[in-house]
Amino acid sequence: MLKKYFVMIAGMLVLSEVPIMASEVSELPQVRVTGKASAKVTPDEMAWSLLVENKGMDLAEVAEVHAAKVSELLLFLKEQKVEEKKTKTAQMEFGENWSYRERQRVKEGYVARTRVSFSSSDFSQYKPTWLGLSKLGNVSVQSVNYQLNDREGEEAKLKNAAMLDAKKRAEMLASSLGSQIAEPLLIEDVRTGSGVQHRALAASNSFAADEQATKSSASGQLQIESQVKVVFRLVTPLK
């Protein structure tokens, strides 16, 4: 009889170590919460996207003018002390230039395009760079994005803060019912975009139209957000 009793105890101990299956999670008393955290950080880099484009009736002439325009742009960036390793130039593209007239598709010569991107950490050069680009013919600014180099490090801090916020919310909800929270049963990282909100400026050769909108980001801060969903097991003490 004693031997049988020990066998039953051993069996109970083994069963207690079996992990909870996913199908059993929904059957347990639980509390579901969302934890959030946000912070304002100062951007440390600008990413510029430019487009060089020109059109003409003669393909050879279009190509020659285009090459000169691209060279002029790269020289200007060099004069602005933009590092060569931070400048990227896409391959030159040529094509026929089509337009619609009186509901008919009409060929109007040829078009050449090259996309140039570069990054800079000197925010004081924003206005001189924009004004300088506006004076270059056939060059348009597609966008200017404000970036944070150590984004992953900042997001990791926010993830931790969001988890603590979720725990605090769960404890508050459980205590209002005279219960407690136990171990987390589920943790979900809610994607909130890139983490850093960028401001993209419309293509324009007029600096005045975007100067005021840019000041708030160039000299201000960016918002970083983190959000998690957590399910805690709910424990209610027996009375």
What is the mean predicted confidence (pLDDT) over 181-191?
93
Rg of the chain over all Cα atoms, to the nearest angstrom: 30
* pLDDT given at position 37: 94
Whole-prediction pTM:
0.59
Distances (CA, A) of 235 to 169, 176, 216: 15, 13, 48
Q: Which residue has the higher pLDDT, 237 or 5?
A: 237
Domain boundaries 22-42+150-235, corresponding CATH code: 3.30.110.170
Q: How far apart are CA 133 and CA 141, in angstroms?
A: 8
User: Distance between CA atoms of 214 and 71, rounded to whole angstroms?
Assistant: 28
Domain residue limits, the chain: 22-42+150-235, 45-147
Whether 214 contacts 202, CB under 8 Å: no
Give the CATH number of domain 45-147. Answer: 3.30.70.2970
- % of the chain beyond a pLDDT of 90: 53
- Percent of all residues in the chain with a pLDDT value above 70, rounded to a whole number: 77
The H or E element containing residue 20 is: none
Expressed in angstroms, the distance from the first to the final Cα of the chain is 35
Q: Which of 154, 141, 129, 117 is nearest to 42 (CA)?
A: 154
Find the range with the poorest average confidence among 59-63, 100-104, 118-122.
100-104
Average pLDDT, the chain: 81
Among 24-33, 67-76, 136-145, 180-189, the minimum mean pLDDT is found in 24-33
Does residue 14 have a pLDDT over 80?
A: no
Q: What's the pLDDT band for 110 if we cut at 50, 70, 90?
A: very high
Q: Give the range among 91-105, 107-121, 225-239 with minimum mean pLDDT.
A: 91-105
